[in-house]
Amino acid sequence: MMENIGLNSDIQAGGKVFHIQTQFMEPSEKIVSTIFEDGKVITRKSIAMKNSVPVPELKVAVSRLHRDMSEDIEMLFYISDKVGTIRHAVSNNKLGLVFYKMNLYDEAIEEFQKALEINPEYVEVYKNLGCAYLRKNMLQQAKAAFVAGIDKNENYADLHNNLGYTYFLLNNFSDAIKEISGALDINPDYIDAQFYLSIVYLKSIVYDVQQSSLPSKIERLNHSKELLDNIREKGANYKVEYIVSALSLMEENKYSEALNALESAQSDHPPTVETDIENDFYLKFMFGGKGKEDRYINEYVEQLKQVINKAPLYPDLHNNLGIAYLIQCRNMFLNALEEFRHALEINPNYKKAEKNLKLAENDGKGFLILLRAILK
């Protein structure tokens, strides 16, 4: 049995106290670092580490990850302060999404609200704000956010689906069915909407809900089976064993047990590909002083490539990789300017270096303007 290798420390950031615990987990061969707030897990990160690694190296790796987690939470609130000094809705939204991912919902809500104050037409933010309210079980506020977003763009399927799920949580089954069905009218292949509509149908049957505008029980049952059959075939977001179990139980008229199976499918998702790594990179690049760190940008490029290998059909990932390549070009360009200047420092009469510097400075302005425009 190896000695216990771990670190614990408290850190103050954003007017809060966070506890960071980093531990080498011998059975799973991982170093796991967790950030807590008031005993609640905020975020967790792990790296693989073989048991065969010498103890001194393990201690260094544990210390490095512990330090990185501490710096990340400090950096996040530092960036929050900097974003607060400008009026840029995109940055507020991205910061809100990072807070949301870290389960810091109050901070996320504040950033989404700021984004909408700056740009009330930024429809995606209404969805993000509503989802943050849902996480805090603030159902009426979530409903208002989704409705406001639909008023801006009635063809946004996510807003209809999320509004429908909110109605479901409010026990308004008729409007839940109406909104989730509306999401499927916009996007018939929307797997999450198919799943939630199945849950709404099944729960309304289990609890014998009597509300106006509800389809008949047999219609709800048959439509639910059709949706679940489709999810079983195509729905990678949900573990197939739960879907198969629910369908089998429905055939036996065991609707309560079938509902339990779907609720298990809802809570026990298979591992998903993380496709939203761009938000953290963008904020650190724009506000965290990482713009000229080649190692940081190269690591981001490699991370994007790995995610694309797992999810090659996500257009956002390819777009983000293209931007990352442009940033690499920008840094190489700035390095080139420095070398031309260095050549002239050594030999002020070096005409070729002088010519190259002038050409690069003049022609490079367009490239830098292009990159700034893309990053806006």
Examine residue 258 and state whether it is found in any structural domain, yes or no. Answer: no
CATH classification at residue 47: 3.30.1450
Q: How many domains is the chain built from?
A: 2
Q: Where is the domain boundary, 46, 81, 116? A: 81
Q: Which domain holds residue 318?
A: 294-375
CA–CA distances in Å: residue 258 to residues 192, 204, 263, 270: 18, 13, 9, 19
With respect to residue 52, please indicate whether it lies within any of the assigned structural domains. Answer: yes
In a domain, 247, yes or no: no
Residue 163 lies in a domain: no
Task: Summarize the confidence of residues 220-242 as an average pLDDT.
Answer: 91
Query: Which tops the pLDDT comparison, 363 or 164?
Result: 164
Q: Which of 81, 98, 130 is the last residue of a domain?
A: 81
Report yes or no on 367 lying in a domain: yes
pLDDT tens column, 240-254: 999 999 999 999 999
Nearest in space to 104 (alpha carbons), one of 41, 49, 44: 41
Model confidence pLDDT, tens digit, residues 329-365: 999 999 999 999 999 999 999 999 999 999 999 988 8
Q: For residue 53, is it within any domain?
A: yes
Instruction: Report pLDDT for 135.
Output: 96
In this prediction, residue 212 has a pLDDT band, given cuts at 50, 70 and 90, of: confident
Q: Has residue 201 been placed in a domain?
A: no
Read off the pLDDT of residues 56-77 as tens digits, 9 standing for 90 and up.
999 999 999 999 999 999 999 9
Q: What's the rounded Cα separation, in Å, for the pair 100 and 109?
A: 8
**Residue that finishes a domain, picked among 34, 54, 81:** 81
- The whole-model pTM stands at 0.88
Look up residue 72 and give its amino acid: D
Residues 6+ apart with CB under 8 A from 117: none
User: Residue 220 falls within a domain, yes or no?
Assistant: no
